[in-house]
């Protein structure tokens, strides 16, 4: 175990543990935006900063706690004047990219200072480069929504971790945006929707109607559950995963309710069959002619 100080308190941590996880474990609240439990940290937003110094001496360093690992004797401060200023500046800049984002607005309230003033400023849609073929153009046309993208990279990392690697951050600076190769709708996309569910600003919109799912400017025919007819998975995704996992399409596309019902029926069938066939757990039932 490694011993370190966190806001003056002595704490124990495991080798290789991130400062963010240690802080959370002992009840400190550190705001984050680009951290996601399913993928490796990237340090993209800098919202989770803390101040660290060697306990002996030396100046403090402001570091992202999602990247920094524990060190013996480290002295970590989760709330200092510098930490507050960095967080407020980060939120203010992010709000310029996604002023409509409810998550960012609530982070601005949390970190206070000039970030919360930024929430009241008029929104600046002209600063957001939606790009001709980005998912958001399609989304805003069809769904009337979709906040800006803050380039946190959660969607691209999740997509790569799922093995699809369909999207990436293209371009730089104000031109940077997430899309398929060459700024086109991603051909490798399976329509799984993982990216849309995880996007902290709601930039990636996913719409489903009439047995068709649409995301990133692409259309996916949905396969229906063999039990109740509910649309469950995009056909492309189901076919790919059925080959990968070695299960049939029918098994894969049964909805959770029908799967539960089918298991319950199979389970419930056993005593009924035993009664029909005149069997008890240990042999023929009393009074039943064999
Ligand atoms: S689309 Fe969403 S998840 Fe992807 S980088 Fe932008 S804000 Fe992050
Ligand atoms: S919906 Fe497409 S882009 Fe999004 S995670 Fe799934 S495969 Fe990747
Ligand atoms: S959560 Fe640590 S840099 Fe974004």
pLDDT in tens, 205-218: 899 888 999 999 99
Domain C-terminal end among 232, 263, 283: 232
- Clarify whether residues 227 and 187 are in a common domain: yes
User: 139 and 204 in contact (C-beta within 8 Å)?
Assistant: yes
Exposed, middle or buried: residue 60 (CB in 10 Å: 0-12, 13-18, 19+)?
middle
Q: Kindly state the average pLDDT of the residues 243-272.
A: 78
Same domain flag for 93 and 144 = no
Query: Final residue of a domain: which of 64, 98, 120?
Result: 120
- Helices and strands counted in the chain (H then E): 10, 13
Task: Give dist(CA 39, CA 236) in Å, integer.
Answer: 24
| Phi and psi at residue 275, to the nearest 5° | -65, -45
Say what the pTM is: 0.81
- Return the number of other C-beta atoms located less than 10 Å from residue 21's C-beta: 18
Burial tier of 113 (Cβ tally within 10 Å: 0-12, 13-18, 19+): middle
- Copy the structure tokens of residue 240: 């790919």
Residue 73 is encoded by which pair of tokens? Answer: 């004797």
Interval 25-63: pLDDT, tens: 999 999 999 999 999 999 999 999 999 998 666 778 999
Q: Is the CB of 201 under 6 A from ligand 1?
A: yes
Tell whether ligand 1 has an atom less than 6 A from the beta carbon of residue 33.
Answer: no
Distance from residue 283's CA to the centre of ligand 1 (Å): 62
- Work out which ligand 2 atom sits closest to the CA atom of 165: 8
Residue range 159-182, pLDDT digits in tens: 999 999 999 999 888 888 999 998
Bridge partners of residue 279, in order along the sequence: 284
For the Cβ of 118 lying below 6 angstroms from any atom of ligand 3, the answer is no
Looking at the structure, do residues 59 and 160 belong to the same domain, yes or no?
no
Position 221 in a domain: yes
The CATH number that applies at residue 16 is: 3.10.20.740
Judgement on whether residues 47 and 109 belong to the same structural domain of the protein: yes
- Closest residue by Cα to residue 216 from 143, 162, 161, 152: 143
């Amino acid at each position: 175990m490694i011993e370190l100080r966190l806001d003056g308190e002595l704490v124990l941590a495991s080798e290789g543990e991130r400062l963010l996880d240690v802080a959370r474990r002992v009840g400190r609240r550190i705001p984050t935006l680009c951290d996601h439990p399913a993928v490796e940290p990237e340090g993209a937003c800098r919202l989770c900063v803390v101040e660290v110094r060697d306990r002996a001496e030396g100046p403090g360093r402001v570091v992202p706690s999602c990247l920094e690992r524990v060190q013996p004797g480290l002295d970590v401060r989760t709330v200092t004047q510098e930490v507050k200023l960095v967080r407020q500046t980060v939120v203010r800049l992010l709000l310029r990219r996604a002023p409509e984002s409810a998550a960012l607005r609530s982070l601005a309230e949390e970190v206070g200072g000039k970030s919360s003033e930024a929430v009241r400023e008029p929104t600046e849609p002209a600063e957001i480069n939606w790009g001709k073929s980005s998912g958001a153009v399609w989304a805003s046309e069809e769904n009337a929504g979709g906040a800006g993208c803050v380039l946190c990279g959660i969607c691209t990392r999740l997509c790569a971790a799922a093995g699809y690697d369909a999207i990436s951050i293209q371009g730089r600076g104000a031109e940077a945006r997430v899309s398929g190769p060459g700024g086109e709708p991603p051909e490798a996309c399976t329509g799984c929707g993982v990216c849309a569910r995880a996007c902290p600003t709601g930039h990636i919109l996913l719409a489903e109607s009439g047995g068709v799912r649409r995301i990133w400017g692409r259309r996916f025919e949905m396969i229906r559950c063999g039990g109740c007819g509910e649309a469950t998975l995009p056909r492309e995704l189901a076919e790919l995963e059925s080959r990968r996992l070695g299960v049939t399409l029918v098994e894969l596309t049964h909805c959770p309710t029908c799967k539960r019902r089918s298991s319950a029926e199979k389970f419930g069938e056993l005593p009924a069959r035993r009664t029909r066939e005149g069997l008890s757990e240990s042999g023929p039932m009393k009074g039943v002619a064999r």
